[in-house]
Amino acid sequence: MATDTQKETLGFQTEVKQLLHLMIHSLYSNKEIFLRELISNASDAVDKLRFESVANADLLAEDPSLRVRIEFDKETNTVVIDDNGVGMSREEAITNLGTIAKSGTSSFLEQLSGDQKKDSQLIGQFGVGFYSAFIVADKVTVETRRAGVAADQAVRWVSDGSGEFTIENIDKETRGTRITLHLKADEKDFADNFRLRHLVTKYSDHISIPVEMEKPVYPEMDEEGNPKPVDENKAPEYEAVNSAKALWTRPRNEVTDEEYQEFYKHISHDYQEPLKWSHNKVEGKLEYSSLLYIPSKAPYDLWNRDMQRGLKLYVQRVFIMDEAEAFLPPYMRFVKGVVDSNDLSLNVSREILQNDHAVDSMRSALTKRVLDMLGKMAKNEPEDYQKFWDEFGNVIKEGPADDMGNKDKIAGLLRFSSTHTDAAAQTVSLADYIERMQEGQDKIYYIYAESHNTAKNSPHLEILRKKGFEVLLLSDRIDEWMMSSLQEFEGKSFQDVTKGKLDLADQENEEEKKEKEEKAEKMKPLLDRMKAVLNEKVAGVNSTDRLTNSPACLVVGEYDMGLQMRRLLEQAGQKLPESKPTLEVNPDHPIVAKMDTETDEERFSDMAWLLFEQATLSEGGQLEDPATFVSRMNKLIVQLSK
């Protein structure tokens, strides 16, 4: 007997209170999901016990048939979800049912706007879990006993969901967790045999252990055809309501889309339908099954480096661990799913997974599987693929650097914004670009800037626009890094239009070439004068035919680091070797023509500096001395207006 119950009242963590409040108000139209969530937790608890019993078979001994049971009572308006899984200790119950362990929770909750708070998709995306019980119940009692501990070591947790819970020690005869929902007055209808059975088949059919309900008792008939009295003392019999077969072990053609979708919700704790899935069984040297899903929405913590990721790992149908990250590369951290191997040992650990040959081969096969699934979607369902790209494109962009071996496949999946439409949406594939290439064009042109508008309006694009060359417009932080690992696509190399010499020469005729050379020759004295003024800031001053409207722009050497990347690294405190850009000026611009005839050296110098400074600004850079720039400009305006 638990003599000292040590009853105490504790408060929920603030985040739990916030989440409970949001959930009850946003999920009322879909309240039945509480059953799916609680069965899902119960089945996880059973999986965990089965895993622990691999090392300690005694844990299963007294009650070896693992199952979840649903009971109800119309008189007391209760629904019970009872499992004989791993259970919880007092400390575990306090932590698991009173706090939210996920990192980033409070910032996620704080950032929600008024409308978002009512958005069930968003709240659901967070994973409603155990707390969904409070959508239909005004009091929840959890009685739980950890596997392997004595009957008097069990605990009872009770809460009305408003902010506090009580916890006390109790006796519990059996291992596992029993959750009793005391239904709210207007949710009494859930305490109903047909409704509950219907919900179990709808949401939990794929759960690999039996979800049982009491067998209906039909009275036997006597010889005259009258019902015999039912024996009230007979222990109830239970029957499985679901098919209780691990979904991934079933043949593909026997699994319906709805089942795949429900299974996804079970393993991912996502509230929405997956965008795509791929189910495979591999036989041969290695034997394993995999079921991989692409979610339709990015989780709120996709950018968190510590985000939990990875597949659910089973070995010969026994659950081993969640978030086994060794089976897919980090740039596929959005993929959810299951892998069930026949080759690994049941007591495999995370460390072993990192250094296992079989895991390496599975990782490379599963990576290809995901790439193929995406490739097919891009080809056959471009609208779905666009949805995927809008959510996860920035993670795929980590791919070329992360996974050199699949660089070409990944490059084919990339989508860009481009001067073809100038829109910010990333919809252009490299194949689209190549198809539109001009005759004789052998490079894929791109520009990177800190924002889409800076890229789109960059002076560097002037000549390319004039001559009708398409340019990819890159402005996501990761883009410059991504491009540094992409050298070519289908034999066409990439060229950053702000770097090195922009060689459109093969598209020029002889006459144009000659004219250009003559112009450059004539410009030389002016360029030398400018170089003398700007010497400390630029490597050189050249004449260019890149520009049509702007007077000047900055260009870095072909093999130098881009100006944005340099700024980024400098901001992060890195010391970089000095490298100066080249100022390129437009010989046809009126300011440049005016400078050529300027005899006042001070005014010439002001103009040269202004050209340099405006070129810096237009590529998104910052001036070292903005005040001097302003006073220089004002001086010139005053002189002009005299």
Ligand X SMILES: Nc1ncnc2c1ncn2[C@@H]1O[C@H](COP(=O)(O)OP(=O)(O)OP(=O)(O)O)[C@@H](O)[C@H]1O
The least distance separating ligand X from the CB of residue 181, rounded to whole angstroms, comes to 13
Smallest distance, ligand X to C-beta of residue 146, A: 9
**Is 469 assigned to a binding site?**
no
350 is in an annotated binding site: yes
Q: Nearest distance from residue 120's CB to ligand X, in Å? A: 15
What does the alpha-carbon distance between residue 401 and residue 329 come to, in Å, rounded to a whole number?
11
Residues 334-363 interacting with ligand X (rule: CB under 6 A)? none
Closest contact distance (angstroms) between CB of 46 and ligand X is 8
- Report the distance separating Cα 402 and Cα 209, nearest Å: 38
In whole angstroms, what is the distance from residue 300 CA to residue 577 CA?
Answer: 38
Q: At what angle do helices 601-618 and 510-534 cross, to 10 degrees?
A: 110
Strand partners, 294: 276
Distance CA 605, CA 533 (A): 6
Question: Cα(303)–Cα(155) distance, rounded to whole angstroms?
Answer: 38
Per-residue mark of binding to ligand X, 501-530 (x: CB under 6 A):
------------------------------
Binding mask 615-634 for ligand X (x = CB under 6 A): --------------------
| 104 carries a ligand binding annotation | yes
Region of 127-135, 151-159, 429-437, 462-470 interacting with ligand X (CB under 6 A): 127-135
CB of 178 to ligand X, least distance (A): 9
Q: How far is the CB of 37 from ligand X (least distance, A)?
A: 6
Query: 585 forms bridges with which residues in the sheet?
Result: 543, 552
Closest C-alpha to 19, from 133, 138, 157: 133
155 touches ligand X (CB under 6 A): no
Stretch that binds ligand X, among 38-46, 103-111, 365-373, 420-428 (CB under 6 A): 38-46
Asked if residues 151 and 172 have their Cβ atoms less than 8 Å apart, the reply is yes
* Strands 318-324 vs 211-214: parallel, antiparallel or unpaired: unpaired
Is 83 marked within a binding site? yes
Assess 460 for contact with ligand X (CB under 6 A).
Answer: no
| Interaction mask 79-98, ligand X, x per CB under 6 A | ----x-xxxx-------xx-
Q: Are 18 and 105 in contact (CB under 8 A)?
A: no
Out of 41, 125, 204, 242, point to the residue binding ligand X (CB under 6 A). 41
d(CA 314, CA 306): 23
128 is in an annotated binding site: yes
Give the contact letters, 261-280, x = binds to ligand X (CB under 6 A), - = no: --------x-----------
Query: Residue 157 is encoded by which pair of tokens?
Result: 């947790």
- 421, 440, 439, 443: which is closest to 430 by C-alpha? 443
- Number of C-beta neighbours around residue 51 at 10 A: 18
Q: Which is nearer to ligand X, 125 or 458 (CB)?
A: 125
Residue 159 binds ligand X, judged by CB under 6 A: no
- The distance of closest approach from Cβ of residue 177 to ligand X in the complex, given in angstroms and rounded to an integer, is 4
**Which position's Cβ is nearest ligand X?**
129
**From CA 237, how far away is CA 230, in angstroms rounded?**
14
* Helix ranges restricted to H, 56-155: 90-96, 105-111, 114-117, 120-125, 133-136
Question: Which are the contacts of 373, defined by CB distance < 8 A and separation ≥ 6?
Answer: 276, 278, 292, 294
Binding residue numbers: 37, 41, 83, 88, 96, 102-104, 125-130, 177, 350
Residue numbers of the site for ligand X (CB under 6 A)?
A: 41-42, 45, 83, 85-88, 96-97, 127, 129-131, 177, 269
Binding residue numbers for ATP: 37, 41, 83, 88, 96, 102-104, 125-130, 177, 350
